[in-house]
Amino acid sequence: MIGRLLRRNTSAARIAGFIISNLVGLAIMGAGLQFYLDARSLWEEKDSFLKSDYLAINKIVGADAMWGNSDGSFSPEDIADLQAQPWVEKVGTFSKADFRVYASVALGDTPPTDSQSDQPKENNGRRMSTAMFFEAVPDEFIDLGSTSFEWTPDSPDIPIIISKDYLALYNFGFASSAGLPKLSESLVSGIPLNLTLSSDDGSRRIQAYGRVAGYSNRFNTILVPASFLDYMNEQLGRGMGSDSRKSVKSSHKESAASDTPAPSRLIVDVNSPGDAAIAPYLESKGWEVAGDKSAASAAFMLRIISGIIIGVGSLITILSLLILALSMSLLMEKNRRKLHSLLMLGIPVSEVARPYWQLTALSAASAAVIAWGAVVALRAYYLKPLQAIGAEGAGLFWTSLMILLLTFIIIFINCRGVTRRVLNAWSK
């Protein structure tokens, strides 16, 4: 009875305006967020051990490097200037092996036991071998878990990260022309590598085992744990490799020791790989980013476009909230005398406000359900084409949660406003 009385002057046009504007806003926000979640796998790097905000930077090799006029290394001033850029979080340096590395693999090998780890494994099968190199970056730039990329002198093998390009070159270049078997990532990860590590003059030699712990899409290098590289540089090197690896903090003002070679490559943690200020800065310095740059730029543009879409949807949602608040305010102003009379009769505030609460909740919930359905329909339209070009897609959990939370906020704010206006009617 009370609800029928108080809703008599309800403007259906205003309520419909709120529902339409609210569902449009929620649908735009939900569609923008869902598309971002579904499409981001197209540009996100597959490196499980490196964050997508890391860049490898080196100096462009020019003709002067052929004549020894430039070694392509970074001076302490270069590193300090790079660290001072607003888009840089931190800077680290690549360290290099100061010893020779020779690797061989025999198909059919099994991982060595602890008792065999200090002896090379004999195998009568087909054997492949090559000279190679090792590099390392500060541990804080590696994200392979607490144990999968650690090394101590007692470790039975050495975890190694290689570039996917190296495996592709072997499979589709060298293996095809030499009649050798092609190797998958999982197969290579399961094959132990026989490593021969020796000093530059060959007077010191160490036999070890290695295993491929991960693959990189962006960095064309062979990474080993920094602890291993430092240890082996001390055992086999000439004292030139171990000190070049460090993370450079913003307050770092020290220069490298005179007998320590300057690093030739840097790893940089940036705020956003697609920042417009990065390319002009590197170009002015004569530096370049190693690996695929398009993925980072595409990911940055995806974030920007999705942010704009979500921002527009947020603005429409806020406007719909104001429309509902204004509609309720006008409706309650028309019923102000009725509200005052009901309160004077001793009817609780909650009973008087309940019809408006119900109207608010029903309108907001209707808009949310329709908006969620629109997002699902739109996703069904674009998901198959996205998956056809390699997108993995994402569930609807986060989008549904966002719509639910926004709807709850809209209902809560308007119900609080209704309660306040009912209390104001008491003073009439």
Which of 79, 47, 246, 235 minimizes the C-alpha distance to 149? 47
* pLDDT of 426: 65
CB 56 within 8 A of CB 266: yes
Q: How far apart are CA 362 and CA 18, in angstroms?
A: 12
CA–CA distances in Å: residue 414 to residues 12, 98, 361:
17, 69, 9
Q: How far apart are CA 257 and CA 216, in angstroms?
A: 32
Going by their DSSP bridges, the two strands 193-198 and 100-106 should be labelled as antiparallel
* pLDDT of 115: 45
**Helix ranges (DSSP H) in 237-293:** 278-285
Residue type present at position 348: P
Domain ranges of the chain: 2-44+297-426, 54-292
Percent helix, strand and coil across the chain, each to the nearest 5 = 50, 15, 35
* pLDDT of 353: 78
Buried b (16+ CB within 10 A) or exposed e, 144-173: beeeebebeeebbbbbbbbbbbbbeebeee
Give the residue carrying structure tokens 């690896």.
245
CA–CA distances in Å: residue 243 to residues 259, 262, 267, 419:
10, 10, 16, 68
Quick one: which H or E segment has residue 234? helix 226-236
The stretches in the chain having pLDDT less than 50 are: 48, 109-124, 146, 240-259
Q: How far apart are CA 424 and CA 428, in angstroms?
A: 7
Tens digits of residue pLDDT in 153-198: 888 889 998 888 888 888 888 888 877 788 888 888 888 889 999 9
pTM for the whole thing?
0.58
* pLDDT of 43: 62
Q: Please classify residue 330 by burial: count the beta carbons closer than 10 Å to its beta carbon, then call 0-12 exposed, 13-18 middle and 19+ buried.
A: middle
CB 340 within 8 A of CB 425: yes
Residue-wise DSSP of 167-213:
HHHIIIIIHHHHTPPP--HHHHHHSPEEEEEE-TTSS-EEEEEEEEE
CB 36 within 8 A of CB 391: no
* pLDDT of 2: 56
Which of 297, 426, 229, 324 minimizes the C-alpha distance to 10? 324
Q: How far apart are CA 294 and CA 409, in angstroms?
A: 39
Q: How far apart are CA 9 and CA 377, in angstroms?
A: 36
Which of 401, 368, 395, 366 minimizes the C-alpha distance to 379? 395
Q: How far apart are CA 181 and CA 172, in angstroms?
A: 10
Q: How far apart are CA 158 and CA 149, in angstroms?
A: 8
